[in-house]
Structure 1
Amino acid sequence: MWCQSCREAYEERDAGTCKECYEEASETEEELKREIDDLKSKVAFLRLASPLDDLASTTDLLLHAVLSPSGSNSATCATPAIPAHRAILISRSPVFKAMLENEMEESRSGIIKIHDVSYYVLRSFVHYLYTAEVLLDEHMACELLILAEKYQVKHLKIFCEKFMTSKVNNDNAIGNYAFAHRHSAKQLLEAALSLIIENMATLTEREEYKELVEKDPRLVVEIYEAYLTRQVNTAAKDSTT
């Protein structure tokens, strides 16, 4: 969409674009590129992998498997297992592929036990394997990222990490920093650390900080090292200007 001055310039001279229109067009182009990249990633994820084409007989591959949750929320009563096609599980996760294509208990029984997960989270996980879509909140993103890392579903891990990164704030930065360390979530780690450093003055007053000191003092040391490094770099930059 051009502004009035650009439209008039185009009508008069068949040319001309003001700075504001140029910047707006550039931003729109970048947004479209990101959307296209996301769609390409989703299509690549949903495309069935080569085992279906390579095997002479795919009868066994197409048999159903079931994923059985055994989280704390489902321990007190019988929880229904979640059915899934072996072909989908094999094509989406190298861990499931190893379980179902080799002489393992899961391959013989068709039952894959998923520990420390609720039925609702596991159902969302399986739904994502089929559709590359899931409705996230902060808790669901956290739980699904853990599952995605465990079963090497990289597309889902990236998706959850982006969502969690967008939700980082002063109240959850310390918790997200510790979580990102445990699960090798670099983007989330950097976002949380940046926010922590910006609010170092109130860091020691937070309960999350006190818990981190007790549970993992190594991370506290890393936070202060990053803070001091930034201070030194800032000082060096100021001295050269």
Structure 2
Amino acid sequence: MNKIFPSAAAALQGVVADGQLMAVGGFGLCGIPEALIAALRDTGVKNLTVISNNAGVDGFGLGQLLETRQIKKMISSYVGENKEFERQYLAGELELEFTPQGTLAEKLRAGGAGIPAFFTRTGVGTMVAEGKEIREFDGHSYVMEHALNPEVALVKAWKADKSGNLVFRRTARNFNPACAMAGKTTIVEVEQLVETGDIDPDAIHLPGIYVHRIVVNANPEKRIEKRTITEKKGA
């Protein structure tokens, strides 16, 4: 099975559609699949529900999709660095399901592991637990959280072989593995592509069984660095 696609746009063809539940890896601007996000913007799909720790920043990463109003709902744990995200939410233009960060990661991991739901003490006694089942274990109350199974997952990795075995680099190994596991169709953007067998099996962070499509986007950090420098200069 050939998993390699010539471009981000080609990798999205036949997979993305209006109204989907979609997971996007990354944390802030660390480990985001920027080429795939830009290609998703260009498809014009709308009414998306997006699972992501946050939504990038204004005009970059998922912030682009907020500006084009392609996202109707975010399932995330953090808003703070995206003014448009905050504005749309406070204005009632964007639905938001706030989820504690660890719970969000576990909901994705559970989805990838085939676990439909789990119990956690996080959120008990707060609005997070409203409308959810509460059970007691060993004298403590736990809230039941359902797993997340996005139709599509967009993921960023550092290196892949042609079978889709992945290596993540440093803190980019954040939500990306969990998103990749949970997605029914997982599309991965990588900086390096090597032959199958070139990655030491002990160095593989995520096996290729979770990966369906791969696109190469070399040196994305240079664009992020350039953007950051421009912002600091006030341009």
TM-score tier, shorter chain, comes to under 0.3
Q: RCO (CA 8 Å, sep 6+): is it higher in 1 or 2?
A: 2
Scaled by the length of structure 1, the TM-score of the pair is: 0.25
Of Structure 1 and Structure 2, the greater helix share is in: 1
Of Structure 1 and Structure 2, the greater strand share is in: 2
